[in-house]
Amino acid sequence: MLNQQLLNPKSIVIVGGSNNLSKPGGRIVQNIINGGYNGRLYVVNPGDPQVQGISTFSDIQSLPSGIELAILAIPAAKCAKTASDLATLKQTKAFIVISAGFSEEGADGAEREMALKKVIAGVNGSLIGPNCIGMVTPAYSGIFTSPVPKLHPQGCDFVSGSGSTAVFILESALPKGLTFSSIITVGNSAQNGIEDVLEYWDNTYHPKNSSAIKLIYVENIKDPDKLLKHATSLIRKGCRIAAIKSGMTEAGKRATSSHTGALASADSAVEALFRKAGIVRCFGREELVAVASVFRHKKLNGPNIAIITQAGGPGVMLTDALVAGGLQIPAITGAHQQNLLSLLHPGASANNPIDLLATGTAEQLEKVIDYCDQLDNIDGIMVIFGSTGLAPIFDAYEVIDRKTKECRKPIYPILPSESSAQREAAMFLSKGHVYFSDEVVLGRAITKIHQTPEPADDAIFLENINIKAMRDIIQRCPNGFQSPDTVRKLLQTAGIPIIEEAVVLNKKELRKKSQELGFPLAMKAVGPIHKSDVGGVTLNIKSSTHLLAEYHRMRKIKDVKSVLIQKMITGTELFIGAKYEPHFGHVMLCGLGGIFVESLNDISHGLAPLTFNEANSMIRSLKSYPVIKGTRGKQGIDESRYAEIIVRLSSMLRYATEIKEIDLNPLIGNGNNIQVVDARIFIKHINNDELLKNR
């Protein structure tokens, strides 16, 4: 809970405030004073009668009553008692604890943190930290680090789980013109974490007064449902959110049990969560800053980009980055090309990228921008303009400033001459802009935004999905991998199509079932986890003699108790899988199937339950999507049918947390006919201890 005493306090006390600016307590006092705080500011320091011009108090008892916010910069062992005194004696309701030495340092520190949390919760107070650098709001600059940005109402709201990382992000962002409206570092998140800050932003959002850009650096997602709820709500209200989630691990991976176990991880759950919420996921500080800078521009409403450049090389590199991310650089031909060439010097190019040449002028730049703004097949304009070293380029940057404000379409300025055009760039920033110094960084940032879907709907697709029948089957299932018959019955309850097959225990059943199914057939060993690794799969069996020979061979394989025969079909091999991640739910995966699952590592993730839009987005984000669509004369598959099977499985899993892993690999697709050929389901029933652990 973030309260008003924390965000807009009428009085602040710094316990441990100092004249020593190399200490957190000294720098916080300085930053609050320099930030122009208008409330009452107090300092507790028993050893110094005056700190930075402020008369100090020797102890908590001598402070006046009604202090709203306390910032503690004292040893961890003293924090709980100090907070208790402030809460009970001075009615303090908000606390920022800078001090380290809590849960990040082991069991003793965790006890100190719990005691601190309990004290503040006891008075219904609000706690930020411990082990943080503080926060900056429009009311005060309560951090001990630098830089301390001058806030802007329409800048970015920024929350970080790491104080030092927040500083590094600020140092990258501020020189590029990115502004901030608030900064909160939550440290150990003893009470308020990333999710709680999102909740506050969501509950207080006002379309005219609140920042529409939210940035997140998170190391540990404690409440995925809460994050999903409020991030989705904010984006639907008009916000745009970008986040870094660090700490990517392969914890929980069970590569020996299934393809899904090998490919899914806790990080897959984060990826799926962000996609479901509509959060643009970033993997580094520069990428986060670039995405936020793109957010500052008008929204790009289509995939078609015009590139205007002075030099061929940067234009080509930008083209490569954009096309690799799914955007398009449409050729400008015919009359439009000739009209553009008439505006430029001889030797210039107007094909797109439009190369003005190094001798291109500000006047030519303005005319080309205006022309591109009117083209129906252009959705956004990127301008690369640097210095040749021959003359100042203030006039060109004035043009970019003016056109950014006037044009209907977004204009993204790439100003590469950070040294030789330093004064010009400073002038451009002074007009309230951001700029990009590297065209590839911009290209990758804008494609990340383009690839991030809108927030998913909440509705669960249940048409012809028999949840009751599915639950009845699961309750009777033993722990472990399920028999082919159980797998078939479970998939049938969800309306998932399965190829004709039969499990046989002897030669008599083999002859009978093979006649019913008809040749050609596939035979698979029942028992081993990875059948293909032990020679437990034979395809395209066309005769009874071959069938019998393979039966005898497979029955000799260790642990094989029976064999499964199937009607043989061919087509595009597909894969759908899911793995249950505690707190997150089932992470869904899809991609090409068979041997391509792990060899290509081309997998898309989603979080169950999925909507049709989510499933379609997963399919289209695959690098192998052209194969699914159909390429080089080979028939593609019905994307909508593939998406429906993904959705059906995800809806079924919403009601089956006992299913820890499921592989449908492969599914064979021919046009709109897609059938599961092989499937594996691992079930583990949840006991009471596990239920408590996963809450």
DSSP output for 329-347: -PPP-HHHHHHHHTTS-TT
What's the rounded Cα separation, in Å, for the pair 201 and 421?
Answer: 39
What's the rounded Cα separation, in Å, for the pair 341 and 355?
Answer: 10
Query: Is there a single domain that holds both residue 316 and residue 420?
Result: yes
Query: Is there a single domain that holds both residue 91 and residue 196?
Result: no
Out of 247, 275, 296, a domain closes at 296
Q: Which two tokens stand for residue 2?
A: 């973030």
| Residues contacting residue 68 through CB under 8 Å, at least 6 positions apart | 5, 9, 10, 11, 12, 92, 93, 94
Strands (E), 98-238: 126-128, 134-136, 141-143, 156-160, 180-185, 213-218
What pLDDT is recorded for position 265? Answer: 58
Query: Is there a single domain that holds both residue 582 and residue 560?
Result: no
Residues of the chain under the 50 pLDDT cut: 250-262, 264, 688-695
CB atoms within 10 A of CB 688: 7
In a domain, 618, yes or no: yes
> Cα-Cα-Cα-Cα dihedral of 645, 650, 655, 657, to 10°?
120
Out of 296, 328, 354, a domain closes at 296
- Contact between 578 and 650 under an 8 Å Cβ cutoff? The reply is yes
CATH number of the domain encompassing residue 588: 3.30.470.20
What's the rounded Cα separation, in Å, for the pair 352 and 359?
Answer: 18
The DSSP bridge partners found for residue 382 are 307, 412
Alpha-helical regions (H) of 239-382: 259-263, 266-277, 285-295, 312-324, 334-341, 362-374
What pLDDT is recorded for position 636? Answer: 87
Out of 296, 313, 343, a domain closes at 296
What's the rounded Cα separation, in Å, for the pair 288 and 416?
Answer: 19
In a domain, 448, yes or no: no
| Residues contacting residue 640 through CB under 8 Å, at least 6 positions apart | 612, 616
| Residues contacting residue 165 through CB under 8 Å, at least 6 positions apart | 217, 285
Query: Is there a single domain that holds both residue 515 and residue 598?
Result: no
CATH number of the domain encompassing residue 33: 3.40.50.720
- Contact between 310 and 355 under an 8 Å Cβ cutoff? The reply is yes
What pLDDT is recorded for position 254? Answer: 38
Query: Is there a single domain that holds both residue 125 and residue 160?
Result: no
In a domain, 178, yes or no: yes
What's the rounded Cα separation, in Å, for the pair 113 and 107?
Answer: 10
Query: Is there a single domain that holds both residue 644 and residue 670?
Result: yes
In a domain, 90, yes or no: yes
- Rg of the chain on CA atoms, in Å: 31
What pLDDT is recorded for position 182? Answer: 98
Which range marks the domain in which residue 390 is found?
Answer: 300-433
Count of alpha carbons within 13 Å of 314, Cβ hemisphere only? 26
What's the rounded Cα separation, in Å, for the pair 554 and 561?
Answer: 9
Q: Residue by residue, what is the 3-state secondary structure of 197-223?
A: HHHHHHHCCCCCCCCCEEEEEECCCCC
What's the rounded Cα separation, in Å, for the pair 653 and 647?
Answer: 10
Query: Is there a single domain that holds both residue 203 and residue 242?
Result: yes
Query: Is there a single domain that holds both residue 258 and residue 325?
Result: no
In a domain, 451, yes or no: no
Q: Which two tokens stand for residue 87?
A: 């809460």
| Residues contacting residue 653 through CB under 8 Å, at least 6 positions apart | 578, 580, 585, 586, 588, 608, 609, 659, 662
In a domain, 378, yes or no: yes
Nearest to 660 by CA among 589, 579, 590: 579
Query: Is there a single domain that holds both residue 487 and residue 507?
Result: no
The Cα-based distances of 369 to 118, 146, 311, 436 in angstroms read 60, 39, 16, 18
CB atoms within 10 A of CB 642: 23
Model confidence, pTM: 0.89
Query: Is there a single domain that holds both residue 636 and residue 491?
Result: yes
In a domain, 398, yes or no: yes
Nearest to 273 by CA among 456, 459, 451: 456
What pLDDT is recorded for position 530? Answer: 74
CATH number of the domain encompassing residue 313: 3.40.50.261
Count of domains observed in the chain:
5
What's the rounded Cα separation, in Å, for the pair 485 and 505?
Answer: 13
Query: Is there a single domain that holds both residue 636 and residue 490?
Result: yes
What pLDDT is recorded for position 247? Answer: 73
In a domain, 140, yes or no: no
- Using the CB atoms, write b or e for 76-107: b if 16+ within 10 Å: beebbebbbbbbeebebbbbbbbbbbbbeeee
Query: Is there a single domain that holds both residue 180 and residue 281?
Result: yes
